[in-house]
């Protein structure tokens, strides 16, 4: 039996590596991966040559330049340029090579800053974006529209999933350029080791956030990718083709900090620096469409944080530096 050749773009990232962990367990799958040194996804010629020679059946487009508020505010040109180039090159080259099925992984930051809550897929392009990550969000919106446009014009099955805030194994724990969970985990861990009297958390602690373990994200992505075409199209109209992926529940940053202190074992004081930006007040996804497609998350936030901290402790020497 011919194996399905699946290319996971961004296989060393948090989501890409989770996809690889799950897909490599399947005997009918032949995984194809390339490091940055082996394939420059920002180079159209290199990406096109890769697709013309590798006979790829499916693509998981998890490659992206990602970061938290600080990174997005400091490097806006890098975020919009690199993400646009990656998705344009991969989607167009996949189509030219005859790849019928592709899954684009976006981000919940595509939605307006003051979107109604929980956020349904229909909120896309209904208001202004959060200014701190607007360049990244615009690149991700472009990826959704690329998939929709190729489906409309060429009859492809290019689907898009929009995850909420992700965390888990192989996250980026850089002290400045990381997202909230890895940043807090590292900060509380170092404070615990130093027996520091307090930990300072950016912002007021009031914003509400939803968090999804990356293993759940990978499982949801595979579920959406493998859905039968007819069943999928009946539930997901071509004109609104992206799907929210989340838990449907959220917590305040203050609650997250308290839970993180408990998981790490830090017993000092938690102080909030309200002079730092909060970002979007609330960002909870409406995941009713995903549930109608037959999938729900399996990993609770406390359990996910515990397993992530265990991973953190055993991989401290391998952390990314940017």
Q: Is 11 annotated as a binding residue?
A: yes
Please say if 136 is a catalytic residue.
yes
* 180-194 vs 301-314: helix crossing angle, rounded to 10: 60
Query: Is 315 assigned a ligand-binding role in the annotation?
Result: no
The whole-number average pLDDT for the span 100-126 is: 94
What contacts 222, CB < 8 A, 6 or more positions away? Answer: 19, 22, 23
Q: Is 290 annotated as a binding residue?
A: no
Which ranges of 211-252 would DSSP assign to H, the alpha helix? 214-226, 229-235
Structure tokens at 280: 């979007």
Spatial separation of the C-alpha atoms in residues 146 and 123, rounded to whole Å: 18
For residue 23, the surrounding DSSP H or E stretch is helix 14-23
From 7, 75, 111, 136, the catalytic residue: 136
pLDDT surpasses 90 at 289: yes
Q: Enumerate domains of the chain plus CATH numbers.
A: 4-318 (3.40.50.720)
Q: Is 268 annotated as a binding residue?
A: no
Q: Give the integer Cα–Cα distance in Å for 146 and 140.
A: 10
In this predicted structure, the answer to whether residue 285 has a pLDDT above a threshold of 90 is: yes
Confirm whether residue 168 is marked as ligand binding.
no
For 143-204, the DSSP string reads HHHHHHHHHHHH--EEEEEEE-EEE-TT----TTTS-HHHHHHHHHHHHHHHT-SEEEEES-
Q: Is 27 within any annotated ligand binding site?
A: no
* Structure token pair of residue 119: 């956020």
Res 236: pLDDT: 84
Half-sphere exposure in the Cβ direction for 225 (13 Å, CA): 23
Segment 182-191 shows an average pLDDT of 94
Cα→Cα distances 6→31, 34, 42, 49, 95, Å = 5, 12, 20, 17, 15
Tens-place pLDDT, residues 138-178: 999 999 999 999 999 999 999 999 999 999 999 988 766 67
CA 167 – CA 211 distance, rounded (Å): 7
What token pair was written down for 25? 């367990």
Average pLDDT (171-198) is 89
Q: What is the pLDDT of residue 322?
A: 44
Question: How much of the chain exceeds pLDDT 90, in percent?
Answer: 81
Q: Is 249 exposed, middle or buried (0-12, 13-18, 19+ CB in 10 A)?
A: middle
Mean pLDDT (the chain, rounded): 93
- Residue 36 marked ligand-binding: no
The verdict on whether residue 108 carries a ligand-binding annotation is yes
pLDDT at 177: 64
Residue 321 has pLDDT above 70, yes or no: no
pLDDT of residue 65: 86
Residues 30-87 have pLDDT tens digits of: 999 999 999 999 999 999 999 999 999 999 999 998 777 777 888 899 999 999 999 9
pLDDT digits (tens, 9 = 90+) for 214-255: 999 999 999 999 999 888 888 887 777 899 999 999 999 999
pTM: 0.92
SS3 12: coil
Model pLDDT, residue 319 = 63
> Does the annotation place 39 within a ligand binding site?
no
């Amino acid at each position: 039996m011919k194996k399905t050749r699946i290319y996971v773009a961004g296989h060393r990232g948090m989501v890409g590596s989770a996809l690889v962990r799950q897909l490599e367990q399947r005997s009918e799958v032949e995984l194809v991966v390339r490091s940055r040194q082996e394939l420059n996804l920002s180079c159209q010629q290199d990406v096109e040559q890769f697709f013309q020679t590798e006979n790829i059946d499916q693509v998981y487009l998890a490659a992206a330049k990602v970061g938290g508020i600080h990174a997005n505010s400091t490097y806006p040109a890098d975020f919009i340029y690199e993400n646009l180039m990656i998705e344009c090159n991969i989607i167009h080259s996949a189509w030219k090579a005859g790849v019928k099925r592709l899954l684009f992984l976006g981000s919940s930051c595509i939605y307006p800053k003051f979107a109604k809550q929980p956020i349904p897929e229909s909120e896309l392009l209904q208001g202004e974006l959060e200014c701190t990550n607007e360049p990244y969000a615009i690149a991700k919106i472009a990826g959704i529209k690329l998939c929709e446009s190729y489906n409309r014009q060429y009859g492809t099955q290019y689907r898009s999933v929009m995850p909420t805030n992700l965390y888990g194994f192989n996250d980026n724990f850089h002290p400045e350029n990381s997202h909230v969970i890895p940043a807090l985990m590292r900060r509380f861990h170092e404070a615990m080791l130093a027996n520091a009297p307090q930990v300072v958390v950016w912002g007021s602690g009031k914003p509400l956030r939803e968090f999804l373990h990356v293993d759940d994200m990978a499982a949801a992505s595979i579920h959406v990718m493998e859905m039968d075409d007819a069943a999928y199209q009946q539930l997901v109209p071509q004109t609104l083709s992206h799907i929210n992926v989340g838990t449907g529940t959220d917590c305040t940053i203050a609650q997250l900090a308290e839970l993180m202190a408990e998981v790490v074992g830090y017993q000092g004081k938690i102080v909030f620096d309200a002079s730092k930006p909060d970002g979007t007040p609330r960002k909870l996804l409406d995941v009713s469409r995903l549930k109608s497609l037959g999938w729900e998350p399996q990993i609770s936030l406390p359990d996910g944080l515990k397993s992530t901290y265990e991973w953190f402790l055993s991989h401290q020497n391998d952390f990314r530096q940017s």
